[in-house]
């Protein structure tokens, strides 16, 4: 079952928790069936580029929920993909997002170059992704306790364990 905005208001698993608000023509905050988060950095992503970014919001996912990160449609139509990360029951911290600019570089005289065309610039505070919470049929027996628990603000690199 997808969790409603009403239930998200009651639980407030995200801090700061905001009602639906507009910034740069895009919405963030609680919606009818999810929550749209904002980016915490100014970014310039060249065509074909990949970057890590952080949300301004901090998460505390209840044990009876799981959340999925989804693209916002405006960004998707501009060629920006936000990888569909899973946020496990019991996970706490600031979310690191993986962003890819799918616009191709322009080709000139037989070599590839990044021109202004296809570059995606994102201002800090801009809505970047939507989070859909799903209710589990039973609370998780153990909360998430992996290597990304308690993730700090700011984009965090992958942790490769041997």
Which residue numbers are catalytic?
Answer: 98
Nearest to 58 by CA among 98, 82, 87: 87
**Three-state secondary structure along 53-79?**
EEEEEEEECCCCEEEEEEECHHHHHCC
Nearest-angstrom CA–CA distance, 75 and 109:
30
User: Where do runs of H (alpha helix) occur along the chain?
Assistant: 5-11, 73-77
Nearest-angstrom CA–CA distance, 39 and 90:
22
Structure token pair of residue 54:
């952080």
Nearest-angstrom CA–CA distance, 34 and 37:
10
């Amino acid at each position: 079952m997808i969790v409603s905005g009403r239930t998200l208001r009651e639980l407030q698993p995200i801090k700061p928790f905001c009602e639906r608000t507009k910034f740069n023509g895009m919405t963030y905050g609680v919606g009818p069936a999810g929550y749209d988060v904002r980016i915490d950095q100014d970014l310039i992503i060249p065509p074909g580029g990949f970057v890590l970014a952080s949300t301004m919001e901090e998460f505390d996912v209840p044990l009876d929920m799981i959340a999925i990160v989804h693209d916002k449609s405006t960004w998707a139509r501009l060629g920006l993909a936000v990888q569909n990360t899973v946020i496990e029951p019991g996970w706490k911290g600031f979310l690191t997002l993986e962003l890819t600019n799918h616009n191709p570089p322009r080709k000139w005289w037989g070599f590839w170059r990044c021109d202004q065309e296809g570059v995606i610039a994102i201002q800090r505070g801009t809505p970047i992704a939507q989070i859909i919470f799903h209710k589990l049929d039973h609370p998780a027996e153990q909360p998430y306790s992996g290597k990304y628990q308690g993730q700090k603000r700011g984009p965090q690199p992958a942790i490769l364990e041997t």
